[in-house]
Chains A and B, each alone.
Chain A
Amino acid sequence: MEGYSRKDEECPQLLDLIPKEKEWFTISAQEKQTSHGSSEEKQLELRLGPPIGDWTIKNNHVSRESFDYFFPWTSSSGYQVQSQQPTTPFLQAHDQVKESSQPNYTVAEKKTFSAANTALPNSSSAQKRIAPTSVVGWPPIRSFRKNLANGNSSKPVSELQNAAGSRISGEKAIENTPQSLLVKINMDGVPIGRKVNLKEHDSYENLSSAVDELFRDLLAAQSNFSAGGIKNEEDGGKAITGLLGGRGEYTLVYEDNEGDRMLIGDVPWHMFVSSVKRLRVLKSSELPTLCRGGKTESFLETSPK
């Protein structure tokens, strides 16, 4: 513990930071159903209704509406808190729950649940919820725990070959250790492939500049490239820009763990890192129709803002 003394306080000391011209408007659970859009002045109190009952949430719309009632913070609204109600109503309510039809879950009775315990497919509610793979920081797992499946030697090499379309049999397109994730990268017109350590980068921009550095000199040694999209650099090699977004002469694509070729940049960085198997730098003019990573938008649409 740090050297701070902890004051005993029954209630938190509230600072009246916002001038008290109005009370803060809040909608309790009951109010939401009755007075839709009511603006009666009501001091905030901690409601202790029955935990189950008038709070069935089928989708997230209930929470959305409550937000509409809040004034923008710049308007003056005071905020007062009533003293908390005693806990007995809660315990009574909880006892109601115990007496209700909640399944009493004991080890002895688990057989009755065995049918229900097969994991239900998430498809029906997945649209309304956030895909777990599309959010940075979720699920909360340290990086060195994430690629255990990839590093597992039991995964057949042939699977990697087929997925990556590697012409050289037995070649490892991806090497994974706790400290590095080396992914093979090839560039159109350059016979020599390179490897890039994805763990050294934390964004597509970083990766793009790393790719530029890797191939710049090699490319300069090749013939037959047009001037479009490439800036002159003083050190002799011409910078390869515009790799993301398909605007430059070259475009960065990758092959994922299902063997699909995808454009870089569609999915959040960490999802990309966990599914990428190899990288390619293609000439933009020769881009076939690529499938775009599809899991990004659901989070943005359903995020509660």
Chain B
Amino acid sequence: MAYSFPEEVLEYVFAFLSYDKDRNAVSLVCKSWYEIERCCRRRIFIGNCYAVSPQIVIRRFPEVRAVKIKGKPHFADFNLVPEGWGAYVYPWISAMARSYPWLEEIKLKRMVVTDESLELISKSFKNFKILVLSSCEGFTTDGLASIAANCRNLRELDLGESEVEDLSGHWLSHFPDNFTSLVSLNMSCLGSEVSFSALERLVLRCPNLRTLRLNRAVPVEKLPSLLRGAPKLVEFGTGAYSAEIQTDIFSNLVEAFSGCKQLKRLSGFWDAVPAYLPAMYCVCSRITSLNLSYATVQSPDLVELISQCPNLKCLWVLDHIEDAGLKVLSSYCKDLQELRVFPSDPYGAEPNVSLTEEGLVTVSAGCPKLQSVLYFCRQMSNAALITIARNRPNLIRFRLCIIDPQAPDYLTLDPLDTGFGAIVEHCKELRRLSLSGLLTDRVFEYIGTHAKKLEMLSIAFAGDSDLGLHHVLSGCESLRKLEIMDCPFGDKALLANAAKLETMRSLWMSSCSVSYGACKLLAQKMPKLNVEVIDERGHPDLRPETCPVEKLYIYRTVSGPRVDKPDFVWTMDEDAVLRLS
């Protein structure tokens, strides 16, 4: 076209597109748009670090300023992925260090990050600003010291729920005295004490600090000085929230909290002692997010606190809240969008608290904006699920964990198929679903029929046959991630829906019935998939082809089989398949 827009104009327009989906669409319009877009894309999201190589990313997008990379499959959170499986970030850091000198932001999830990687980050990117390590592992406080020492413009350091080896609490002291740019610090996952004086000095000299999440080791009597030093805090996480009751500590705390006029989010509260909860009452009216999931206080104290938070949007809490507390929640917190109820005693044989399906039903009735639920309980009924579905068709995430595997409807002893069927039928925008309880192939039929927007599905101890898996793979059009443990799904549904797997990010199956032979066949037919067999019993060739594999992780990739596999992971590839014929 003779009179198309100059590139600069298009670039300017594209700059308004922040969603990857939009940018991807733009890049498909024509070759010149593809070229313009790729040169001005600043943010990259890589949902599976093995789906693409650093070289391919860098080649296509030369001007990236922010990357987000995810590594291990979600079930790694529950110890299903053996140690040493992979997801090493170092190759990414090393490649980006050469090609993205202006990189500002690195966000990682479930990756192995070494001190070496952290040091390389700290020295390679002069304008580095944001480091978020969510559920990562492999580094020590020495790595943190490098970041502190070298990242002169650091704004955000968020260690998420990572596993950090605590070698020394002095890493904080490595922030130079003239370092003042910190906006957000989350060190809640650290086990040992950090140097408090270093922390205090850091807080006092960073005027833009908006998020401060301490670790358990910071005692409650030290909180007032930090809060006073950061009156503009929006998010605050306490340490252990317990001490012997002393009036001066309490009054200092009240005064300090009341000075934080912008405080909206609270977390921490390990070992919380009920007597100290009222210190927060002065900020409760502004609180939108409360994470009490480490606070083992009982229901009446929780109720007292929650009833003062009318603007609560997000609540994470232990099941100590009980049905009674959830009833109070549903009547006071009409803005509630997200609720997570964690089990205080998941391995106990008998329930230790009075939390049942009733609590969730009540919240679903009373909180019209509720869209995201994670709920651990010990009993459920189809009637309750149907009611919840009818009450809350606007649910987007629904994760229910009935602690006893294969627990039926406790009223009728039926499977919970119809209950979950109602959820997917009514909640048409549902994007994430986790199932539990006694479930037959029928529930998967419902899911395949109705859950058209479902992107992530987690299944355990459910189904009767391959038909179940087939329903899901053939019916769920938007499915991206499927994770399955301990289900009787085998070869047939997988092989028949092989093409579907290329439209998904990944499929995890552990303790199912997929045979080694089927894995090889799948890999042979689908060269753009990596079919990884994880089996700690030794090479699968030592067992018959019909023998089911322990664990299976299948993901689409443009980079071919990975080269950093441990000795208990086998990628099914051409060579493995030659023996088949």
Contacts and interface: CB of A to CB of B under 8 A. Distances in A.
A5 B29 CA distance: 12
Contacts of B252: none
B271 A152 contact: yes
A152 B467 CA distance: 46
A167 interface: no
B491 interface: yes
A125 B163 contact: no
Interface stretch (B8-16, B280-288, B498-506, B570-578): B498-506
A95 to B, nearest CB: 12
Contacts of A47: 445
B374 to A, nearest CB: 10
Contacts of A55: 415, 417, 440, 442
B474 A135 contact: no
B306 interface: no
Contact of B510 (A116, A137, A149): A137
Contacts of A1: 19-21, 24, 45
B216 A177 contact: yes
Contacts of B500: 12
B346 A304 contact: no
Contacts of B548: 305
Contact of B488 (A102, A139, A305): A305
Interface centre among A52, A146, A271, A275 (most CB of B within 10 A): A52
* Interface residue range, chain B: 35 or more
Given A2-B505, A107-B362, A142 B77 contact: yes
A218 interface: no
Given A1-B21, A70-B466, A84-B475, A141 B382 contact: no
A197 to B, nearest CB: 10
Contacts of B381: 103, 105
Contacts, number: 268
Contact of B546 (A51, A73, A94): A73
Interface of B: 19-21, 23-25, 27-28, 45-47, 51, 75, 77-80, 82-83, 161, 163-166, 189-192, 216, 242, 270-271, 293-294, 296, 318, 342-347, 349-351, 356, 358, 361-362, 365-366, 376, 378-379, 381-384, 386-387, 401, 403-408, 410-411, 413-415, 417-418, 421-422, 425, 434, 438, 440, 442, 445-446, 448-450, 458, 460-461, 463-467, 470-471, 473-475, 477-478, 485-488, 490-492, 495-500, 503, 505, 510-511, 513, 515, 517-518, 521-522, 525, 545-546, 548, 556
Given A15-B499, A57-B414, 19 more contacts: A2-B45, A2-B505, A3-B20, A3-B24, A3-B27, A14-B497, A17-B521, A60-B406, A63-B464, A116-B411, A117-B358, A122-B404, A125-B408, A135-B486, A137-B460, A146-B346, A148-B294, A178-B191, A179-B191
Interface of A: 1-7, 9, 11-15, 17-18, 24, 26, 29, 44, 46-48, 51-52, 55-58, 60, 62-63, 66-67, 70, 72-74, 77, 79, 81, 84, 87, 90, 94, 97, 102-107, 110, 113, 116-117, 119-122, 125, 129-130, 132-133, 135-146, 148-149, 151-154, 177-180, 202, 270-271, 274-275, 303-305
